[in-house]
Amino acid sequence: MRTLAVDGAELAYELEGQGDEVVAFVHGWCSKLQHWDAQAQHLRRGQRVLRWDRRGMGRSRADLPADAPARHAQDLAAILGAEGIDRATVVGHAGGGPTALAFAAEYADRTDGLVLVDTRLHAAPAPGAADRFAEGVARSCEQLLGPDGDAFFGKLYRSFFGPRAPEDVVADAVENALATPRAIAVAEMGHMLGDTMAVARRARCPVLWVSAQPDDSAIVRQAFTDVMIGHVVGSGHFVQLEVPEQLNAMIGVFLAARA
């Protein structure tokens, strides 16, 4: 494990593999870099693979929560710079999707491609219109901070997995999530409410969109001009842990198509 001090945070990360191409993995909400183990093992024979624990999560420490996904994108840029890496394909899962999008938008000249794994795009609602997603997030944050916050947190995190997910994998993910400082967890949940649709439209790199959800192709094609869309089967929200062979194959096809 390597570490880098960046603006009030001690970031833990791993860099492995060989080759000229770099793939940087962004974990999701209250997750950790080890959740990309299967992808790192698959890719490191031909690419360099960077994974890091976002500030306040996993083994990374932070004085304060990140104020926006752009802060995490800056952290990724700092790690890449410290390792002398100019460009990367960025892979983001779920709540890490806004970070991956922010990096592609703000560091377009350093982004070779973008892979978004079972994340979602959120558009700013029209004036006076209801935002059901934001309402749900607000309720979840309130429960996370309530007297039964741990029980709610554990139940919520378990719900992210499909019925075929191994119990030891689920239990480890839940334990890791519960170790996240509650202020970090709430702040990170709030990051999902930004206008990621607008940020996505600023991305100019090729995109691979991988989903375990019902067909979301229409909104994805509205956001990106150069996009491949894939749907996995038999998985819950944690695609990279539940059906790694499907995700690995899709990432491989996406990288090969740009070679």
pLDDT digits (tens, 9 = 90+) for 194-230: 999 999 999 999 999 999 988 888 999 999 999 999 9
How many helical (H) and strand (E) elements, i.e. helices and strands, does the chain have? 11, 9
Predicted local confidence at residue 117, as pLDDT: 98
**Strand ranges, E, within the chain:** 2-6, 9-17, 22-26, 48-52, 61-62, 88-93, 111-117, 207-211, 227-231
pTM of the model as a whole: 0.96
Work out whether strand 111-117 and strand 207-211 pair parallel, antiparallel, or are unpaired.
parallel
The distance from CA 203 to its chain's CA centroid, rounded to whole angstroms, is: 16
| Amino acid sitting at position 46 | G
pLDDT digits (tens, 9 = 90+) for 34-82: 999 999 999 999 999 999 999 999 999 998 999 999 999 999 999 999 9
Predicted local confidence at residue 195, as pLDDT: 93
pLDDT of 93 higher than 80: yes
- Domain ranges in the chain are 2-257
Predicted local confidence at residue 109, as pLDDT: 96
Distances (CA, A) of 51 to 5, 37, 146, 180, 223: 16, 9, 32, 18, 26
pLDDT digits (tens, 9 = 90+) for 101-156: 999 999 999 999 999 999 999 988 888 888 898 899 999 999 999 999 999 999 99
pLDDT digits (tens, 9 = 90+) for 145-199: 999 999 999 999 999 999 999 999 999 999 999 999 999 999 999 999 999 999 9
Predicted local confidence at residue 126, as pLDDT: 82
Predicted local confidence at residue 129, as pLDDT: 84
Predicted local confidence at residue 125, as pLDDT: 84
pLDDT of 259 higher than 80: no
Q: Count of residues for the chain?
A: 259
Q: Does domain 2-257 have CATH number 3.20.20.140?
A: no
